[in-house]
Amino acid sequence: MRGKSAVARVIAPDSKYGNPQVAKLINYVMESGKKTTAQAIVYSAFDIISKKTKTDPVEVFETALKNTMPSLEVKSKRVGGANYQIPMPVRGERRLALSFRWLLEVARGKKGRPMAQKLAEELMAAAKGEGDAVKKKQDVQRMAEANKAFAHFAR
């Protein structure tokens, strides 16, 4: 490996809630460098959550993250001419990235409503342990459990 590995940047907390994970969500929602648009989407989604649930939207968001973060995933490895799906534990930063990716993928997949509304609905569903992002996490976990027999190939 040439050169030095890149230093992980520290993301400043967002302006409204003072939470670095909310700032990270805004960065994931952002497309084509339009950060103010992404902030408007996330903050209006949080407003919708607070109106519908009558609780702190950041708590709902953190519960949703907790419910969608995978602890195990499978990675393909070639051993002696055959590909095996090997279960591996997921690192902390990757857990967060997968959680954000799945939440936004599901929200963007729904049609016919504003993005803020779709994101709010998916976050509320994930906080309850329902929704497609939670289903995706369970599928990944189930796949890892099913391939436990190949765990000895992991290094």
Per-residue tens of pLDDT for the chain, all 155 residues? 789 999 988 899 999 999 999 999 999 999 999 999 999 999 999 999 999 999 999 999 999 999 999 998 888 888 888 888 888 889 888 999 999 999 999 999 999 999 999 999 999 999 999 999 999 999 999 988 888 787 787 76
Query: CA end-to-end span of the chain, whole Å?
Result: 19
In the chain, what are the domains? 20-153 (1.10.455.10)
